[in-house]
Structure 1
Amino acid sequence: MGSVDDTAAPAPLRILVITTGLKLGGAEQQIAALARAFLALGNEVAVLSLTQGHEIDLPAAIPVTELDMRKTPLSMLAAQRKARLLVRQWRPDVIHAHMVHANLFARVLARTGRMPPVICSAHSAREGGRLRALAYRVTDRWCALTTHVSDAGRMAMVASGAVPDERVIVMPNGIDTSRFHPDQASREQARRDLGLGPDDVLVLNVGRLVPEKDQAMLIEAFAEVCRDLPKTRLMIAGDGPLRDELAQQVARHGLNHVVLLAGARSDIPELLRAADVFVLSSRIEGMPLVVGEALASGLPVVATAAAGVSELAGDTATLTPTGNPQALASALRNAIAALPGTETERDRRRQRIVGHFDVNGVARQWLAHYRSLRKQP
């Protein structure tokens, strides 16, 4: 009888991802990045979305099921039936849910019959109020593992009573460093496409136009910056319910010639290469992917100290208090004054992400967790 080869590659896994939705957003982009990495490592992935609408880029090899679930008992029961049928037909080895609604949905699903291990991942430092914390706590034992993308977010969940300390771990976001990297030729082309001159300084913000991202505070800060530095431009890439309100704020400050609300964009890697400084103005985060993407692109980063930022950036970014436009303006002025910076500084920022948060390494950590949970009785 031949000996067992302990060095053989582990068997591929079938991973069912359950997500609240597939609109553009940090958690959704992380789902896509991990899915691509899982496929590249020889595994199979299927995605189940509670809602309709598909804006993120997923590989064609990944089947996507959209439930179009409504907030009514009948719709939720119908969605659970469809999900159980999908599990029976596709036979996943593990179910990995992301974001609060999908996490609670997956936990209920786990109680309805024989199911593979269920993992629930939270992405925001503020998952919701008391009712959501209670729902998390009541259903905690229905999943095998709860994770958060940052230690600050993990501690917030524990403090709210949503999960016992010993039942939640930190699993960071992964950055696709093959997509986000410095490229001088790409930078020059992107700046030409944006109509930027050699003396123009582009400050870039990426995020949904919602109160948590606090672009209103960023615009206040930028109004101070451009008074002293008239060649500075601000682009805010993203869309959301505050677009009209922010446009009115830009107009009130007389900034229409230097501030662009660019809407949702599919060319974020190119925009990051075109930019000179990246700025994050958020009040609330979990672990902001775009900060990691900016650092992987070599950009100087000025960011508010929202949850997860310092864990991601270490000492490679300048952090300011949340909700403080004067502090943000001062940090932006200092970052612009230090341009163009050195290649050593650029490489140090990139290596922070490559060394700690590359998506392939994070995907391998997830696969190890999946296999460990499958072995548990």
Structure 2
Amino acid sequence: MLSVYEGFFSGGARILHTDVVLGLQEGGQHHRVLSLHGEVLREATRQPMEDDACYRSLTAADVEVTSLGRTFGLPGGVTADPARFTGPELATTARAMADADVILSLKEQPLALLNQGGLPRRPVVVSLHRSDPENQGAALDELKAAIADGTVVACVCCAESTRAAYEAAGIPAEVLHVIPNGVDLLRFRPAPARRIQLRDALGIPDTAPVVVFAARYDAMKNVPLFLRAARAWLHSEPDGHVLMCGAGMTAGQPGLQDDIEAAFGEDLRLADRLHRLGVRRDMETVYAASDVVALTSAWGEAAPLCLIEGMMCGAVPVATDVGDSALIVAGQGFVTPPDPDAIAQAWTDAAAARPALAPVFEHSRERFSRTRMIASYAALIDQLHTEWVRQALPEPPLPETL
């Protein structure tokens, strides 16, 4: 198996896909990874491949990771044309594909490479992780072209909203398969010791209500709405604290500071209880230390990992109705309109409901199991590979007539 990534940078799709690769490797498949980019600058954060947590997890599990060495957004760097590839880049790709039986493409962006002429012909499975194909630009056209010529044999949708959106955008229903996201239940679980440890490190009292926002600094995440809700909530909850995690959620992101000042205005002192933690490699600890996990996205979400991971650690989810968020939190969280006061009130209600919802989260753990997700991927890949091999076999000779 060969997985092709656009790059190693912070985001839920990369985390999810990397966990799938690791799980399939654990199950006996042999996996390699090819990344188009070796280093990117996104959300005001410089992200070399070798520093990424997903890269480190893969290489620690003996998954070979190579890169075409492209860069994006670096000062003084040269950003390559995403639709054009050099001879050496195509040769590297061809060598990586030659040893694979099936190719996994992390989202549709790598298809600009995989659709190039002259590469080995292998069945390609595309993992789709958003619910807004209309915002994927030329990548959607690449996906349609790859399906039309038989290169892409299946698309794995992480949510029903993804399947519906891509079908509406013209992707044939028969190639769309839904495999809901799952997480490592041994890692993401309530942990009182970790809860106390992080709160002590941040100076947060044991009894203080805490809301966590795990997202990169991107317009899709609607950070201004989150911050307006945070202002209202911190005003009404004098002991409350808010944690912001993800690429760009640091003092080094000037846009975020502008957003904070705009949202808090004359109440800027309340932002003293707003903790910008940036990219964390211990999200299980951050969630365990929190009472509420918040999502305020305006579009694009499919099955947000933050909601699932947070719930499995005991944090009550509060989300806007985007993608499959409402389905994920049904019966165990809150769905809000995009209104800061309504969101702030839901955070208060969620924190109060946390003890009562703990047994509900425990009962739903199997639904969000990584084991279930990996088994579904493995079964689909085995089926597709078998069908591809069968089609490639020569037709048996016709019997001679007597």
TM-score under structure 1 length normalisation = 0.87
Q: Show the counterpart of 2:342.
A: 327
Q: Deviations over 1:165-193 (max 9, x none)?
A: 22212122221111100111221222212
**Deviation for aligned residue 1:312:** 2.8
Residue 238, structure 1, aligned to residue 246, structure 2: yes
Residue 347, structure 1, aligned to residue 359, structure 2: yes
1:288 to 1:103, Cα distance in 2 relative to 1, 3 A? farther
Q: 1:45 aligns with which of 31, 53, 76?
A: 31
C-alpha separation in 2, matches of 1:236 and 1:72: 32
Identity value in percent:
22
Q: 2:303 aligns with which of 264, 287, 298?
A: 287
Counting only pairs closer than 5 Å after superposition, residues 296-335 of structure 1 correspond to structure 2 as: 296-321=312-337, 323-335=338-350
**Deviation for aligned residue 1:199:** 3.1
Q: Secondary structure in 2 aligned to 1:235?
A: strand
CA contact (8 A) 1:190 1:274 kept: yes
CA contact (8 A) 2:249 2:277 kept: no
Q: Secondary structure in 2 aligned to 1:187?
A: helix
Counting only pairs closer than 5 Å after superposition, residues 101-112 of structure 1 correspond to structure 2 as: 101-106=109-114, 108=115, 112=118
Give the partner amino acid of 1:166: E
CA contact (8 A) 1:298 1:347 kept: no
C-alpha separation in 1, matches of 2:137 and 2:210: 41
Q: Show the counterpart of 1:121.
A: 127
**Deviation for aligned residue 1:114:** 4.3
Residue 358, structure 1, aligned to residue 369, structure 2: yes
Q: Secondary structure in 1 aligned to 2:203?
A: coil
Q: 1:147 aligns with which of 134, 153, 156?
A: 156
1:144 to 1:72, Cα distance in 2 relative to 1, 3 A? closer
**Deviation for aligned residue 1:315:** 2.1
Q: Secondary structure in 2 aligned to 1:101?
A: coil
CA contact (8 A) 1:282 1:304 kept: yes
Q: Show the counterpart of 2:144.
A: 137
Q: Deviations over 1:1-44 (max 9, x none)?
A: xxxxxxxxxxxxxx211111111110110122112212222222
Give the partner amino acid of 2:284: P
1:202 to 1:48, Cα distance in 2 relative to 1, 3 A? same
Q: Secondary structure in 2 aligned to 1:100?
A: coil
Q: Deviations over 1:39-90 (max 9, x none)?
A: 22222211111111321332320110111342166535543321111222xx
**Deviation for aligned residue 1:115:** 3.0
Flag structure 1 segments of 5+ consecutive residues without an equivalent: 1-14
CA RMSD of aligned residues (A): 2.1
Q: Which moved more, 1:21-30 or 1:324-333?
A: 324-333
Q: Show the counterpart of 2:9.
A: 23
Q: 1:174 aligns with which of 175, 178, 182?
A: 182
Q: Deviations over 1:268-327 (max 9, x none)?
A: 111111111111111121211111101111211111111021333332121113x32232
| Paired residue total | 353
C-alpha separation in 2, matches of 1:76 and 1:213: 35
Runs of 4+ with >6 A deviation: none
Give the partner amino acid of 2:63: I
Q: Show the counterpart of 2:85.
A: 75
**Deviation for aligned residue 1:333:** 2.2
Q: Show the counterpart of 1:8.
A: none
Residue 218, structure 1, aligned to residue 226, structure 2: yes
Q: Deviations over 1:140-187 (max 9, x none)?
A: 2321111211111111111122x1222212122221111100111221
Q: Which moved more, 1:208-217 or 1:119-128?
A: 119-128
Q: Show the counterpart of 1:12.
A: none
CA contact (8 A) 1:296 1:351 kept: no
CA contact (8 A) 2:2 2:32 kept: yes
1:129 to 1:360, Cα distance in 2 relative to 1, 3 A? closer
1:114 to 1:199, Cα distance in 2 relative to 1, 3 A? closer
Q: Secondary structure in 1 aligned to 2:350?
A: helix
**Deviation for aligned residue 1:221:** 0.9
C-alpha separation in 1, matches of 2:309 and 2:239: 25
TM-score under structure 2 length normalisation = 0.82
1:167 to 1:32, Cα distance in 2 relative to 1, 3 A? closer
Q: Which moved more, 1:326-335 or 1:174-183?
A: 326-335
Counting only pairs closer than 5 Å after superposition, residues 1-16 of structure 1 correspond to structure 2 as: 15-16=1-2
**Deviation for aligned residue 1:366:** 0.8
C-alpha separation in 2, matches of 1:39 and 1:347: 33
CA contact (8 A) 1:34 1:174 kept: no
Counting only pairs closer than 5 Å after superposition, residues 260-275 of structure 1 correspond to structure 2 as: 260-275=275-290
Q: Which moved more, 1:68-77 or 1:260-269?
A: 68-77
Give the partner amino acid of 1:309: S
Q: Show the counterpart of 1:64.
A: 65
CA contact (8 A) 1:299 1:349 kept: no
1:72 to 1:200, Cα distance in 2 relative to 1, 3 A? closer
Q: Secondary structure in 1 aligned to 2:37?
A: coil
C-alpha separation in 1, matches of 2:232 and 2:314: 26
Q: 2:201 aligns with which of 184, 193, 209?
A: 193
Give the partner amino acid of 2:233: V
